[in-house]
Structure 1
């Protein structure tokens, strides 16, 4: 039997392929958009709204900043201490419509040498970790026009 696929964090993203999207919430009172999602109250300090509606966020945005992770992060990040550490790319992306910045890992193979501030990237589904029972899914940022 093959391992089941499960999101690392429930209700933060959904879909596959071109329909893959990060999920946030929008306040019905002031229209503020939240990611990660907020289900109890609007985070806008000038709003007392409590009605929040799930929204799919922009699929594309522009690189706001980036760096590489050259150290093994602490738990709950999952890594095998017996294997050599492989650096990964972190990308902060300003989403097109929401004008908010969302942090995420670069897609496999994307390095800091491939990135420039202001370049267009898109969100794609990815794998954070696999164990015997589960493939733990997450999101990655990938430069537009690059295929995995």
Structure 2
């Protein structure tokens, strides 16, 4: 039986492969953009508030910072405590148009040694984890140019 595919967090991204995008919200009053999305009020403390509209965010950005995670993260992250922990690479990426920084994992196989601040990356669909019935989806960052 094939696993169903579901977003780990509903409403944070849309699309597949080339059309994959993170979703944010933009305030009509001050034009501030937020990720994760905001549905109740503008997070800008200097804004009187305005209507919030869902917007797809830039698919590309530049590495702002990066590190690796050498510890097993706490709940709600799902991992089998009986298996050894494999570190993953984390990136903070400044989005091209919105100029906001979004944190996420690098695609599998990309190590800290492969990255540099300012490097261009793109958002792609990724797998957070799988259980017997479901593949839980998230986003990953992938360098746009692979160095040999």
Same fold by TM (over 0.5)?
yes
5+ residue gaps, structure 1: none
Is contact 2:30–2:50 with CA below 8 Å preserved after alignment?
no
Aligned partner of 1:81 in structure 2 is 81
Q: How does 1:9-20 map to 2 (within 5 A)?
A: 9-20=9-20
Taking the aligned partners of 1:11 and 1:50, their CA distance within structure 2 comes to: 21
Q: Give the alignment's TM-score, normalised by structure 2.
A: 0.96
RMSD, aligned CA: 0.8
What displacement does 1:48 show?
2.3
Instruction: Find the counterpart in structure 1 of residue 46 from structure 2.
Output: 46
CA distance in 1 between counterparts of 2:73 and 2:41 reads 31
Work out the CA distance in 1 between the residues paired with 2:4 and 2:28. 35
Matched, 1:37 2:37: yes
In structure 2, the residue corresponding to 1:47 is in which secondary structure? coil
Deviating above 2 A after TM superposition, structure 1's stretches of 4 or more consecutive aligned residues are: none
Residue 145 of structure 1 deviates from its aligned partner by 3.1
By how many angstroms is 1:50 displaced?
A: 3.8
Listed one character per residue, the Cα deviations across residues 25-67 of structure 1 (whole Å, up to 9, x for unaligned) are: 0001111100000000100111122410000000000000000
**Matched residue of 1:104: which SS?**
strand
Structure 2, unmatched stretches of 5+, are none
| Whole-angstrom CA distance in 1 between matches of 2:25 and 2:89 | 27
Deviations 1:96-122 (A, max 9, x none): 000110000010101101100000000
Contact between 1:104 and 1:139, CA under 8 Å: does it hold in 2?
Answer: yes
- Give the equivalent residue in structure 2 for 1:127: 127
d(CA) in 2 for partners of 1:72 and 1:98? 32
Counting only pairs closer than 5 Å after superposition, residues 1-148 of structure 1 correspond to structure 2 as 1-146=1-146
Please give the TM-score of this superposition, normalised by the length of structure 1: 0.96
